[in-house]
Amino acid sequence: MADKQQVRADIREFLTTRRARITPEQAGLRVYGTSRRVAGLRREEVATLAGISAEYYIRLERGNVSGASESVLDGIAQALQLTDDERAHLHDLVQTASTSRPAARRRPPQARVRPTVQRIMDSMVLTPALIVDSRLDILAANELGRALYAPILSDPVKPPNHARFLFLDRHAGDFWRDWGQAADDAVALLRGSAGRDPYDEHLSNLIGQLSTRSDDFRVRWASHNVRAHLTGAKRIHHPIVGDLELPFESMPLPSDPGQSLVMYSAEPDSASHAALHLLASWAAQPQEPQRSEQPATDA
């Protein structure tokens, strides 16, 4: 992931997988006959939709993107019906492939959580809150956040990592009631991070570890799906209070590049709201959930 050849391969695979998912009918093209050797669009069809020559698009899809203009990339994004997150990912990959690798490793995102941010989180007594970085490392939490994510935070490897728990800990399927969706979201977030900073050594090591030890991760990584999961709901089975469904908001911290504040809040008068209050009471006690810390080799 950390060299130009790999970035070009990522461009090729990203464009190929996006092209394969769009049918001619979805693209508004008329199809004559029934013999097509590809499920999605042909390269020539993408070129036509993007307003460029077929030869030029084929060169771009092979990762030879030097000199590709913003308008060309936007035309390809429109032809492939990319989402805003996918469009940004394509631009990130092309920018990396078109510029020289920095002579020195760029400084990684700040790992230290500022005291002001920690105090703000600590003031949220009934709101679980976490600081997560672009690698899905959990850098800090308030008391209720630590109680909510206790099974993840108990990982002896520090800092605890959301993706590592999902794919390498045998308890992940019990904790996440919709493990598949949580896994898809985590990989899509890591894909976006890798596109923004392909020279992040810590991220490369994490992806290498997960790819080596988890078939589930490898399959999802190969799909090249990208999504910034900034809002939604998490469905959790907590070992102390049982089932929870918690809407969340993730807010990037502009002063701390790579860090996001993630906050959860249950619907008023819901079973999850009552369970969250019970968890807050439990968190005030000097105890921790009991579980084995022995990781599994796969999710």
Residue 294: per-residue pLDDT = 46
Residue 37: per-residue pLDDT = 74
Q: Within 10 A of 176 (CB to CB), how many other CB atoms are there?
A: 21
Residue 34: per-residue pLDDT = 61
Beta bridge partners, 161, equal 137
Q: How far is CA 69 from CA 58, 75, 96, 213, 262, in A?
A: 16, 10, 14, 39, 36
CATH topology of domain 4-98: 434 Repressor (Amino-terminal Domain) (1.10.260)
Residue 104: per-residue pLDDT = 46
Residue 295: per-residue pLDDT = 46
Can you say whether residue 289 is alpha, beta or left, with left for phi > 0 and alpha for psi between -120 and 50 degrees? beta
Question: What percent of the chain has pLDDT above 70?
Answer: 90
Residues of the chain with CATH 1.10.260.40: 4-98
Spatial separation of the C-alpha atoms in residues 212 and 231, rounded to whole Å: 30
- Residue ranges in the chain whose pLDDT is less than 70: 1-2, 33-35, 100-110, 287-299
Say which CATH class 115-283 falls into: alpha beta
Residue 111: per-residue pLDDT = 76
Tokens of 206: 């994490």
Residues of the chain with CATH 3.30.450.180: 115-283
